[in-house]
Chains A and B, each alone.
Chain A
């Protein structure tokens, strides 16, 4: 008996697989060196979109996958981030590097304001409320003259590339690196989160809130914490996206499609798993970008038809996402009989 306990205690805390680690390291180095091979701007754009959407999906994964609350209006935080940098830059000349944090802060405040009343309640109420919130933001920004109402904000262009103004006109490579670095930081942070005490407790809240209460976990507080973290991951992507395209309007950055795609990527890749959003984004974004090229103007609708179809098929056949195709012995510990 005693020896079994000792053996169990001497096990490493985490299931570390050297092969997986070296593959990841290799991939990171490859990603950093890709632009050096003279990738054309379409491929740079494709990778930028993959990084951006993976982070956005990761944000959704934190609230939905970790704490089990479904937000159908996560685009709101993306829009807040986008408007924050553009607005403060155009009105006060504040560099986007600082106003990224404004966007995060404003998003966090909204997450608290929405979360306190709504997260006390069960899942459907929250899902419906977030759907309403997503659309409300779009409606309000369409009519808010200070931020350009329906025509949005056209960010003042700098004559040349500028790190201070976070604008690059001659090449997409700087954007590539900025998005890549945010992507790596976000994934590292969420990976740490998933292994922390907070991560454990959030999963408890997701799996059984009643049981979590009996273990001293204040369920509604933990849901709000998850929602705030999620909002703060989403907002910087909005900010960077605004700097990337330099024209933002409510129909673009508060579009319900944003809320749809983050959900789709996460569910496709594997909800509740740190790697799910990466897998989902790496598959879905190329499909979407290529369908846009080959199908031209109608591409938008075909995109969405595919999204809807994929979402239903995944829900029916692979509710745990594509990550469930990875053999169990890599993901899980060996079980004794």
Chain B
């Protein structure tokens, strides 16, 4: 079953087409990886789906319900969680408080919200850091914080923007494991990744974007054979 279907989504910024007629479906419980060079329109696509940016045209359906044009808080309320490429933790609050703010969505009681937040913090392996302020955490830990915070709203669909971007090599395997662990909980995931090897490892389907256009969509194996993708990613394959 499709959890999300995107049809002909377009958005331009002052003449530059950031997203040009993009369509794809996401199966429930799967991981969709989005790849593409810088400026391909990956983050814009996330902003369009979650309502942070208004699309010029197109349709977005979440469980057959139109979410196109809703405000971000309404979309998240339907069960779409997200993280941000440029991290946005609540810097002056502790890790626990950050996650609790997410947990309050479905839990009014403070104690229960706290316990739920603790469970999620334990899930992302940061339980020892729960009373640290977000500004005191490392980049990798803040990525986990954002994932935990998004998970706390109990999303059915989780959009993750560059989980492994900007962290050092040692931290990456842990974050990849976390995404796999997350998938086992049943949540559907769309993830933007720079690292093509990670995408091939974790994704069920891959969407390749280039200059705002969708150039390929399919299973990792199909994508690896796709000539256009090879052309734009040849260098990356070698490097990795």
What is the interface of chain A, defined by CB distance below 8 A to chain B? 1, 4-5, 8-9, 13, 195-197, 200-201, 203-204, 207-208, 210-219, 272, 332-337
Contact = CB atoms under 8 A, between A and B. Distances in A.
A42 to B, nearest CB: 40
A4 B89 contact: no
A203 B94 CA distance: 12
B90 A8 contact: no
Contacts of A332: 131
Contact of B73 (A9, A200, A218, A336): A218
Contact of B132 (A207, A213, A216, A335): A335
B128 A208 contact: no
B153 A216 contact: yes
Interface stretch (B34-42, B76-84, B175-183, B184-192): B76-84
Given A4-B127, A207-B91, A214 B105 contact: no
Interface stretch (B5-13, B108-116, B211-219): B108-116
A211 B90 contact: yes
B90 A204 contact: yes
Given A5-B122, A213-B72, A197 B110 contact: yes
Interface stretch (B59-67, B96-104, B201-209): B96-104
B57 interface: no
A335 B83 CA distance: 26
A334 B131 contact: yes
Interface of B: 50, 52, 71-73, 76-77, 81-82, 84, 88-94, 97, 100-102, 104-105, 108, 110-111, 113-115, 118-119, 121-122, 127-132, 149-150, 152-153
Contacts of A1: 122, 127
Contacts of B111: 13
A167 B206 CA distance: 76
A223 B50 CA distance: 21
A217 B73 CA distance: 6
B101 A215 contact: yes
A69 to B, nearest CB: 16
A321 to B, nearest CB: 13
Contacts of A13: 110-111, 114
Contacts of B122: 1, 4-5, 8
Given A218-B73, A332-B131, A335-B132, A211 B119 contact: no
Given A204-B90, A210-B84, A215-B102, A335 B115 contact: no
Question: Which of A1, A13, A197, A332 gathers most chain B CB within 10 Å?
Answer: A197
Nearest to A14: B110
B30 to A, nearest CB: 22
Nearest to B79: A216
Given A4-B122, A9-B115, A211 B84 contact: yes
A213 B71 contact: yes
Given A197-B110, A215-B153, A217-B73, A208 B88 contact: yes
